[in-house]
Structure 1
Amino acid sequence: MERWDRIGRTAAYGAAAALVPYLVIKVTWVVGSLLGLLPVGRGFSRGGWLVLNTVTIGMAAAGITLGLALVRPWGMRIPGRLVGLLAWVGSGFLVSILPFVVLTVLVSAGTASAGSAGSSGHDAGMPGWEAVLLQCSFVGTGIGLAVALPAYLWRRWPHALRRPERPGARTAPGPLWPAVAAAVTGLAWLYWAAGGTLGITHRDERPAGWHILVGVSACWALAASAAAAALVLPRPTRLPYPLLLALTWLGSGSMFAWSGWRLPATVYVALAHPSDVVYPENVVVAVTLHATAVLTGAGIIRTLVRGDRARRGPSATVRRPAGRPA
């Protein structure tokens, strides 16, 4: 475990460092746009461009802080709920970005497809080296957090990774509706990714990047559904318990983070009608699916947290070791 802990600490530093180029580029875009030295992204007003990139600057800063919190001593003193929330949302973004970047490169869709998918607000006319740095930041941070987060969790909450002792008992007592809703949402996205046209208004506005992003989101939603159902239903499963926890954590985080990001973007495009920005989905259908995904992701993680509290027992919420936050 000491070797694994050292690897996790190194990965945490690497995750924080990988986001620095992203943060610098985004700050440059905002400052350059304010001073009139850099153009505004295609399809955005100046105000919309500044707001979007200011939000992503905050997200990058939070990601760097999270990486450092997973390795520095003060990270063990941060309230557990705050660390968990940042890690959950951050990992939800990154587990979708990583396969999206890899698959986009494989199909030679390029940066233009990523912009058309509306995933990050990048301008299709950015220099190639900026696109490479941005993608390397996402990939490096994703890999770093994937290694650092389990090591941090083991140091702070080792009980959370252990399977309950009673065989056949429900490991995460809670309702089944989040798993069902995740399955329905995932199947709808999978239908679109496969080329289905029901619920699609602009059929010609579906580049390869859009299909890849929707397909990746569908896979994570279905994985979260299957894992959540396995944890809630009182049936034995041969899958390793840490794997079920990982699929539930990452899948629900992907649904919450990405739909939470795309929901306001979809509403904005529908109301403001910015030039050269058209989403292929029917607005009502897209908003419904994204809202369902946000609620479903929150419902799944709530079930997971309640299951952890139930395993620790009622005394866990009353007694706490001195100097160690819950």
Structure 2
Amino acid sequence: MVERWDRIGRTAAYGAAASLVPYLVIKVSWVVGSLLGLLPVGRGFSLGGWLVLNTLTIGMAAAGITLGLALVRPWGMRIPGRLVGFVAWVGSGFLVSILPFLLVSALIHSASGSSGGSGSANGDAAMPGWEAVLLQCSFVGTGIGLAMALPAYLWRRWPHALRRPQRPRASPGPLWPAVTGTATGLAWLYWAAGGPLGIAHRDERPADWHVLVGVSACWALAACTAVPALIRNRSARLPYPLLLAVAWLGSGSMFAWSGWRLPATIYVAVAQPSDVSYPENVAVAVTLHVIAVVTGAGIIRALIRGDRGRRASVPDRGGQAAERV
């Protein structure tokens, strides 16, 4: 059974890498086309800002392709674990939010009879439909591929990380990430439900905005529910890998999406483009994004500290405590 799932994970890793190739090609074409004057600049962006944004996403796509290959190729086992873990954590955080967002948004637009919001979401309302489909397929394919490939990679490299510890940690670790993450998640959930406090432009909240904020809120609350059970090792009713996955994905979602939206919010507040504005009050939005980034980092740090403690207590073949971290 283990060998079968390992083969599936390896195939999924190649699929995840291949799925991002269309996204990478489209983003490169946007940059080259904008520089040559053949393609329009995205709505609300100057040429420089448009190039910077898409250059960043090109780098993210290249990192995603490299990550997919690293999860299956032999050289991936030689890359420093922290680097692989960080890239996988951030990438997973982006994808677990964007996948349900795309699904729910498609259902909403289908029910209302309007066209999808993919074009505006990417900054260019005139984006052809086939490009929007390719971009969405890239996200979906990469998300599904990494979801199957990453556990197989973790099992090959760090099999102990997916096992429940036999005894509670001597030092359970701080619970402040669960508190701050819960507060942030509840604030986002309040906005997603239509709450007016902290909203500067009440008429500029499209359905897509409500969906994305709601998805972010759900992942934040889910992660902060799993964290106390993990660091206290008190929940035997739920599978340990499931709790670990929820904390991993939820913290990655907070860190990745708020880390992405924080500079974008500041840019809109400073540049004040005439055709782009965010519904949220800038000060409130920036505060929540900063808290979310810090909380996501705090959760993953608590998980890593717990994993180090477990590795130090795992006996090796000679009966000695494993010293290597």
Q: TM-score range, shorter-chain basis?
A: over 0.9
> What's the CA shift string for 1:144-164, capped at 9, x where partnerless?
000000000000000000111
Residue 15 of structure 2 corresponds to residue 3 of structure 1: no
Please give the alpha-carbon distance, in whole angstroms, between the structure 2 residues aligned to 1:245 and 1:188: 24
Asked if the contact 2:119/2:127 (under 8 Å) is kept, the reply is: no
The one-letter code matched in structure 1 to 2:60 is M
**Structure 1: 5+ residue stretches without partners:** 321-325
Q: Which residue of 2 aligns with 1:177?
A: 176
> What's the CA shift string for 1:278-301, capped at 9, x where partnerless?
100000000000000000000000
Deviation at 1:98, TM superposition (A): 0.5
Deviation at 1:174, TM superposition (A): 1.1
Please give the alpha-carbon distance, in whole angstroms, between the structure 2 residues aligned to 1:267 and 1:115: 22
Please give the alpha-carbon distance, in whole angstroms, between the structure 1 residues aligned to 2:323 and 2:41: 54
What is the identity percentage for the equivalent residue pairs of Structure 1 and Structure 2? 79
The one-letter code matched in structure 2 to 1:292 is I
Corresponding residue SS for 1:276: coil
Question: Which deviates more from structure 2 when the two are superposed, residues 214-223 or residues 230-239?
Answer: 230-239
Please give the alpha-carbon distance, in whole angstroms, between the structure 1 residues aligned to 2:225 and 2:251: 11
The one-letter code matched in structure 2 to 1:128 is G
Please give the alpha-carbon distance, in whole angstroms, between the structure 1 residues aligned to 2:303 and 2:220: 16
**Structure 2: 5+ residue stretches without partners:** 316-320
Aligned pairs, number: 316
The one-letter code matched in structure 2 to 1:229 is P
Q: Which residue of 1 aligns with 2:106?
A: 105
Deviation at 1:236, TM superposition (A): 3.7
Q: Which residue of 2 aligns with 1:279?
A: 278
Please give the alpha-carbon distance, in whole angstroms, between the structure 1 residues aligned to 2:249 and 2:45: 31
The one-letter code matched in structure 1 to 2:54 is N
The one-letter code matched in structure 2 to 1:210 is W
The one-letter code matched in structure 2 to 1:264 is P
Please give the alpha-carbon distance, in whole angstroms, between the structure 2 residues aligned to 1:38 and 1:318: 57
Residue 76 of structure 2 corresponds to residue 66 of structure 1: no
Asked if the contact 2:6/2:152 (under 8 Å) is kept, the reply is: yes
Q: Which residue of 1 aligns with 2:128?
A: 127
The one-letter code matched in structure 1 to 2:74 is P
Structure 1 length as normaliser, TM-score?
Answer: 0.93
> What's the CA shift string for 1:107-152, capped at 9, x where partnerless?
0177764565x6xx44121000000000000000000000000000
Corresponding residue SS for 2:140: helix
Q: Rate the CA distance shift 1:193–1:171 in 2: closer, same or farther, 3 A.
A: farther
Higher relative contact order (CA 8 A, sep 6+): 1
Please give the alpha-carbon distance, in whole angstroms, between the structure 1 residues aligned to 2:172 and 2:240: 15
Asked if the contact 1:111/1:124 (under 8 Å) is kept, the reply is: no
Q: Which residue of 2 aligns with 1:217?
A: 216
The one-letter code matched in structure 2 to 1:176 is L
Deviation at 1:230, TM superposition (A): 1.3
Deviation at 1:319, TM superposition (A): 4.5
Question: Which deviates more from structure 2 when the two are superposed, residues 6-15 or residues 236-245?
Answer: 236-245
Q: Which residue of 1 aligns with 2:198?
A: 199
The one-letter code matched in structure 1 to 2:19 is A
Residue 80 of structure 2 corresponds to residue 75 of structure 1: no
Alignment of structure 1 residues 15-164 onto 2, 5 Å: 15-108=16-109, 113-114=117-118, 121-164=122-165
Please give the alpha-carbon distance, in whole angstroms, between the structure 2 residues aligned to 1:108 and 1:276: 22
The one-letter code matched in structure 2 to 1:35 is L
Please give the alpha-carbon distance, in whole angstroms, between the structure 1 residues aligned to 2:254 and 2:279: 19
Deviation at 1:170, TM superposition (A): 4.3
The one-letter code matched in structure 2 to 1:162 is R
Structure 2 length as normaliser, TM-score?
Answer: 0.93
Q: Which residue of 2 aligns with 1:323?
A: none
